[in-house]
Amino acid sequence: MYVYIIRHGQSRGNIDYSLRDAEPYHPLKEELERKDPSLTRLGRAQAELAGHRLSQIEFDAVFCGPLHRQIDTAAIVMGHQKKKVPIEVLSDLTEVGLEGYAGTPKELYEVLFPDTEIVPCSDPSPTGGPGVIPASAECPEGCRVRGRRIVEYLKKRFSGSDTILLSTSAMFGGAIVIPALLELTDNDIDTGKNFEFINTCISMVELTDDGKKIVHFSNDITHLSLPDGEDSANYPF
Amino acid sequence: MRLYVITDCDAIAADKAGRQMARVSLDAVLYGGTEREKNTADAVVKYQEKLDSAELSKELCENEALTDRERAKAIKDMIIGRFQKSEKVAVVMPAEFFGNSFGAVIMRISDEAIDNGAAFACYEGAISSFGVGDRTEADYVNRTLHLKVSEPEMIKDI
């Protein structure tokens, strides 16, 4: 199984607060925007570039966390895919430290992402669907439990050459998802981030059916910086 | 310290890696004992303004007395002991050695995890960048797009 992990594009939470106010983007109330910031125009452009670069890879399934920036990034990437699969919201993919915030209300999906099919993850386990992440999941061990749960779920559902995309956030992707895919111990993840995650960076980890775990690349953002005249779709990876 | 690992490769890939690395002003380029590693390191130095030559490192050379993992740890210790926080260093090593040993050691991935199959892929001519200090973080691993981009421009970020 090939697992592509993408961090969301630049969000209004990633930039200076004064700039956030200068760039109203969607109709959510400001309070919700603070908890669940949307992508900036730059963040959307970054996601478009990532989607273009990923356009030659055919995903069998696409998952995102329940946050607006995570869903929006997945939706933009999916816009570049020929084979359309629904985006499955996997609440465990949310960012760390949100203290129980459940994510963008489901009722707003159709308003915010009208052209994209977004469904709760069909898995009956606690990873399924948008929901409140228990407070215990916000401690480091809780986050690791979330990470391991995601990996177990993926292993149950996918194998062989199945190719999937996870749209998540910086800390959860770099410090939790990749270490969980590699089955690193807590001691390995001693002081936090092992893998840096930049907006719309793409990482890929292969899990082989015989148990090997291979990082093919991590934090690749070259789609953001190709020389003029080069088309990123010609250089998928 | 910023550590760049470049996996050994043929002359064309080495030239591309060298031109990509030209965006960074390196303080040293180290390589192991093979001709291929030396050639890769020389190609990197060629595009460096303040370096005259690459340096053969005994820690990077094959050593029958050490396992690959022990050698990887010795390389890491040498790098940390020798270079200052502000320095930028490139090391050239065989792709498989990076994939199975050094990549895991520099990221402090335990022997147990390595035995369980955790590894980095081995792409010749790939560039990886690590921030090495109190802790090690991978800025990026196995970046290869510079090998594919048409000449003469390289990708802008590194």
pLDDT higher at A24 or A217: A217
- Residue A232, domain member (yes or no): no
- Residue A235, domain member (yes or no): no
Q: What is the pTM of this model?
A: 0.91
- ipTM value greater than 0.85: yes
Q: How confident is the model at residue A19 (pLDDT cuts 50, 70, 90)?
A: very low
Q: What is the pLDDT of residue B74?
A: 97
Q: Mind listing the pLDDT tens digit for each residue in A23-79?
A: 544 555 566 677 788 899 999 999 999 999 999 999 999 999 999 999 999 999 999
Q: Which of A214, A224, A237 to probe by mutation at the B interface, max B CB count within 10 Å?
A: A214
Residues 6+ apart with CB under 8 A from B151: none
- CATH of span B2-148: 3.40.50.1240
Give, for B131, the enclosing helix (H) or strand (E): strand B127-132
> CB neighbours (10 Å) of residue A52?
18
Q: Which of B140, B151, B153, B157 to probe by mutation at the A interface, max A CB count within 10 Å?
A: B140
Contact B135 A192 (CB under 8 A): yes
- Residue A154, domain member (yes or no): yes
Q: What is the Cα–Cα distance from A29 to A92, expressed in whole angstroms?
A: 25
Q: Mind listing the pLDDT tens digit for each residue in A92-134?
A: 898 887 767 788 888 889 888 998 999 988 665 555 554 556 6
Inter-chain CB pairs, A–B, below 8 Å:
107
Contact A235 B153 (CB under 8 A): no
Domain harbouring A38, CATH code = 3.40.50.1240
Tell me which residues of chain A have a C-beta less than 8 Å from any C-beta of chain B: 182-185, 187-188, 190-196, 201, 206, 208, 211-222, 224-228, 230, 235, 237
Q: Which of B111, B122, B130, B155 to probe by mutation at the A interface, max A CB count within 10 Å?
A: B155
Range(s) of the domain holding residue A218: 2-227
Residues facing B28 on adjacent strands: B89
String of DSSP letters for A92-132: GGSPTT-TT---S-GGGHHHH-TTS-EEE----STTBSS-P
- Residue A200, domain member (yes or no): yes
Residues 6+ apart with CB under 8 A from A225: B155, B156, B157
Contact A194 B157 (CB under 8 A): no
Domain ranges, ordered by start, for chain B: 2-148
Q: What is the DSSP letter of A66?
A: S
Contact B138 A195 (CB under 8 A): yes
Contact A220 B150 (CB under 8 A): no
- Residue A236, domain member (yes or no): no
How far B108 CA sits from the closest chain A CA (Å)? 6
Domains contained in chain A, number: 1
